[in-house]
Structure 1
């Protein structure tokens, strides 16, 4: 497998607190890499550094290199917005925009970028919902609020929204933690399908889930001092 993301001596801080220390890791392209470990060990913190979401937290900082296709995403010349377009994020709790319809939710990122071609937006809506295995369930109610879907459907809607902007990498922060077993299985099956087109990094507390969905697993530990490492 070729390497999509490479972390070289990455150290992550919240102000003066050294939250995550000395991470060296390669993340293969078009595969699923799982981050697993105890609560508070830095899994989600590392995940957020991969699309520069960590730095939106006041006084947060990152040292070291994170290379995306060989280019350091923390280089001063790199636009963080461009990084986030290339590296999408799906959060722990499904977060469809409550005032938007299902269709509007899917293409929210594109409309924010200024896309106004209704035909193109409609095509991308269908493609993305099909990619998230949701099209057949919602195709007759695209004008209904996204918040009216079930929890599992909302999470797949958020995945459709993430892939609508055509990222190369998908980050998933415990995407199944709030879902029932049937919805969890649907999302896990979707992850298997998506890795044909995307590099996926998933944070999970569940060892069994990591075994089911991942091609590679990174284990995070706590140091004896209790500080994340």
Structure 2
């Protein structure tokens, strides 16, 4: 499990508007890559392009390529649904299905994929996914209770369990801690460090300290002005980005001079 992702000359459009221009980056398997930058610079758009979720918006399309282990996910005949099975997504706000139990939430993706699974296998999969999300010990005695009854941090980990239950190879996280308290944030950050042992993880965050703590490599995005496309300004090892970046814009952003 886990895939190498190679983005080449990627332009992302919403109709006639070019939201992102000329992004090229290589993301290695079993690493955490952080995408940082001011609001509106395209980092979440790039993240959603990695599982073709941006195409949910009518008129959205890309030029360029996104190669996963050598296969272009935008190639002719590639089914975006199959791409999304391999590339899990965790959103900014936890979104457990409110009418489903904790266990049903974990298994929701498997059911949606029409996978036949015995009760014992379902029990085993739910436990494995919840253990993978560091949530099992907290919920094992209330699996039949609504997932919406969990705390915010637990709900986010439940969503991570739901994502990994379908056995993806890449996990995308769009500001997964922005709505959480510091204790819950720490739990998610610890989990991210564990997830990279099995998955390729890409995370968008506005929290500079978080990017420095959890990621191996960091990409800094910026925008020249309103109506201009976002661009990848610098991409390097996280330690270099935060201590000795090559670009002045990167230095100004990570030091808090703007953004």
TM band (smaller chain): over 0.9
Q: Deviations over 1:84-133 (max 9, x none)?
A: 01000000000000000000000101112222311111100000000000
Aligned pairs (5 A) from 1:27-106: 27-106=27-106
Aligned pairs (5 A) from 1:1-229: 4-114=4-114, 115-224=116-225, 227-229=228-230
- TM (norm. structure 2) is 0.86
* Cα distance between partner residues in 1 of 2:170 and 2:71: 14
Q: Deviations over 1:203-222 (max 9, x none)?
A: 00111100000000000011
Contact 2:3 2:169 in 1 (8 A): no
* Cα distance between partner residues in 1 of 2:225 and 2:89: 32
Q: Deviations over 1:15-47 (max 9, x none)?
A: 101110000111111000000000000010000
* 1:201 partner SS: strand
Q: How many residue pairs are counted as aligned between the two chains?
A: 228
Contact 2:51 2:87 in 1 (8 A): yes
Q: Give the aligned CA root-mean-square deviation in angstroms.
A: 1.2
Change (3 A) 1:36 1:147: same
Task: Give the CA deviation at 1:228.
Answer: 3.2
* Cα distance between partner residues in 1 of 2:162 and 2:225: 41
The gaps in structure 1 that reach 5 residues or longer are: none
Contact 2:12 2:61 in 1 (8 A): yes
Contact 1:33 1:216 in 2 (8 A): yes
Task: Give the CA deviation at 1:56.
Answer: 1.1
- TM (norm. structure 1) is 0.97
Contact 1:3 1:26 in 2 (8 A): no
Contact 2:3 2:200 in 1 (8 A): no
What residue in structure 1 maps to residue 245 of structure 2? none
* Cα distance between partner residues in 1 of 2:73 and 2:81: 11
- Runs of 4+ in structure 1 off by over 6 angstroms are none
The gaps in structure 2 that reach 5 residues or longer are: 231-259
